[in-house]
Structure formats: structure tokens, C-alpha cells
Structure 1
């Protein structure tokens, strides 16, 4: 008979592995990436008109989700690059002397490329404002962090202020978070009027993603300085 301890051992290993993955910004970035991807995909599948005569409906839904238009193709590619960037951050922060500067800059660089792809996707999907903020501003912040050496003065930027490039990344999230909050408000009104609770799924998921990504952004403040500037995440 299998003991309770033996049954709980795999769970303990899983919890330990998850904690290790969440060490540093990479785990938070990719947790947000995975959450958005999985829930969005599940909603797409759930909305597919699957029936006896529609065996290909799920396949069509998958294709539409990942490659249904030029915008979704760009979004899919951007997401893949973001995952690679998150993994680079994870490896940078998994070392005993974390963070590894070279791997951390690689994470910044890949995230900058992903942000460009995201901006293109949002532009193709008819969201020029979000393309400028979540795409362009985010990319500028990430590329700035890639090539700027911590401790080097930035012209016209007060030395006592937080890192301008990390701040740009953080600021790039605000319009999307505001738009998501508004969407959640409309979804709540829809549910209050008798609509399905599934209307809340995507706005709540996106807010969860933004909280995870913001946590990761905050962890990157002060990286590479002798006395890291910690910004409260509470």
C-alpha cells in the first residue's frame, strides 16, 4: 500500500519546481504569457460550434487563434519570442550570482523584439494606441535596458530617479491595463444583466497577466547597480 508520504512526494517536487521557476522575473513573465495563451485558447475552443457534422470546427478554431489573420500570426510570433525572453531571464536569475548580466540583457533584447512584434500585431488588429504603448514604448524600454549600462548617467534624467528604461516598460502597461479594466466593467454589467459569467473570463485573465508582468518589471529595477533600488510590489 502506498503511503501518504509517497503520494505527496511528487506534489512537493512540483511545488519546489514552481518556486524555482518563479525565482526572478522570468517565471513571472512566462506565467503571465502562459496564462493568457491557455485561457485565450480555451475560450476560442469553447466558442467553436462543435457538432456531429462539424468535426473540423476545433481544428479551424485552433488555426484561427494562432494564424487566422496577419495580426494573429504576428501576435503568435511575438508570444513565442516573449517566452524565449522569459526563459533567458529565468536562467539569468537561477544562478548563484544572480542575475547574470549577459543573460539578463539577452532577456531584455528578446523582449524588445517581442514588443515590436506585439506592436505590429496590435496595429494590424486595429489598436494603434496600444501598438504605440504596449509595442513601441515597451520596445524602447527593453532595448534601452539592453544597451544601457547600469550606473551610467542618462542625459537629462535626474540621477535620483528610477531607471528611465525600466520605467518606460512599466509605463507601457498602463494603457492596456486601463483598457482591460474598462472591459471588465462592461463585462460585469453584462453579467449583472443576465449575461454569461464567461464574459468575465478574458478581462480577469488579462488583469492577472498584467499583474504578473508588472511584478516581473519591478524585479528588474536596480539590476546591475551596487545598491539595487527596490520598488515595493505591495
Structure 2
């Protein structure tokens, strides 16, 4: 009887040890936001749906939902270029997400950069059509050059392109600055009480989106440092 009791305790101990050694499963939302891809797409989704919601609210029922949606997505050339850019950004965000997973193929990251670069071209065309020439030629060109430059780096696989990639990633992150400054200047009158806050809801939302995109840019920029830190800790533990 006593031996059975001891065996039972040992079995429970072994079970508890193995269960405690298992890695806890992360929630879906947490796993999606664990890398740059999920953060990129969080900003993309917020920008896409908030813009439509505010346009629908601004119409105040004068147009149907589908008419407003059509106008928002493909109502003119600028809207069409912007919609195409958003679709490509969403696809690239998903590829970034899979590229950040352990054991992912190395080719996924350049593909994500390439798709994002195509999206940046479409975004630049939309900005030009909408009359935002400064944003297009400064922020748009920097984003295109940074993303497509990173996508082209595997061509020079025989060379050490770490510094070049870092410079291109910095260029991508810096491309967010002009838009953030412009949006901040748009919101400033509301902070001073000169205009109502409901007039700057969209700029405030876009500031949030640009900060999310900047966060994802920085995660890509410093991913080598994170990888080195993981390697050092792993070597030390072994």
C-alpha cells in the first residue's frame, strides 16, 4: 500500500514537471503582434477601416453603404492607388509575420520587402494624384528606396550587406517623419482649442498608425541585435 502511494506521488511529480516544462501557448492576438508583420498590419487595418467609418459618418446617410464603400476604395484614381497600396501592404505584413517565425525561410523577408516596395510605389502615386507632392517625393521615395533596396540585397549574397541593410532600414523609418510632422501640425490647433476635436479625429488616428508602422520599422532595423542577444544567451545556457 505504501509503495503504491509512493509510486503515485512520483507519477504526479513527473507529470507536474513535464507540464511545467511546456511552453505556454500564446493567445492569437499576442502571437500576431509578436513581430513586425502583425504590427504593420494592425496599423494597416486601423487606417483602412477608420477612414471608411469616418467617410460613412461624414455622408450622414446621404449615400448607401455600398456606394460609400465604392467611392472610398475606387472612387477616383487616387483612391484606387491608395486601395492597391493598402492591399499590398496587408500582403507584405502577412509575409513579414511568417518571415519572423522560427525556422522561416530566409527568402521570405526580401519578398516582404519587395511587396512592401510595390505598395510604396502605389502609395506615392496616390499622394501625387491627391496633390501631396512634398509627401510623395520625400516620404514616398524614401520608403520605396528603402524597401526595394532591402529586397535587392540577396543579389549581393557574397558581400557583407549588414551595414547597407541597416542604412536602408533607417531610411524606411525616417520616411515616417514628414507625415508625422504634418499630422502633428494638423492636430495642433485642436490642442490649442482653436478647432473642435472632431475635425482632427482622422489625423489623430493616422498618427497612431504611423507610430505603429515606425515601431515595426524599428523591429526590423534592430532584429540582428536581438538575434545576437538570443545567441549569446543560448550559448551561455549550454
Coarse TM-score class (shorter-chain normalised):
0.7 to 0.9
Show the counterpart of 1:71: 78
d(CA) in 2 for partners of 1:68 and 1:166?
34
Gaps (5+ residues) in structure 1?
Answer: 1-14, 230-234
Show the counterpart of 1:179: 182
Contact 2:153/2:165 (<8 A) preserved: no
Q: What value does the CA root-mean-square deviation take over the aligned residues?
A: 2.6
**1:140 CA drift (Å):** 0.5
d(CA) in 2 for partners of 1:164 and 1:101?
20
Show the counterpart of 2:166: 163
TM-score (ref. length: structure 1): 0.78
* Structure 2 counterpart of 1:26, from 20, 37, 42: 37
1:123 aligns with 2:134: no
TM-score (ref. length: structure 2): 0.76
Give the length in aligned residue pairs.
Answer: 202
Return the index of the structure with the highest Cα Rg.
2
d(CA) in 2 for partners of 1:63 and 1:148?
39
Gaps (5+ residues) in structure 2?
Answer: 1-25, 230-238
In structure 2, the CA distance between the partners of 1:91 and 1:153, relative to structure 1 (3 Å rule), is: closer
Q: Answer 1 or 2: which has greater helix percent.
A: 2
* Structure 1 counterpart of 2:95, from 79, 88, 92: 88
**1:41 CA drift (Å):** 0.9
Contact 1:101/1:224 (<8 A) preserved: no
**1:151 CA drift (Å):** 9.3
Q: Deviations over 1:28-79 (max 9, x none)?
A: 10000011111111100101131xxx4x443332222111211111000000
- SS, match of residue 221 in structure 2: coil
d(CA) in 2 for partners of 1:59 and 1:162?
43
In structure 2, the CA distance between the partners of 1:226 and 1:198, relative to structure 1 (3 Å rule), is: closer
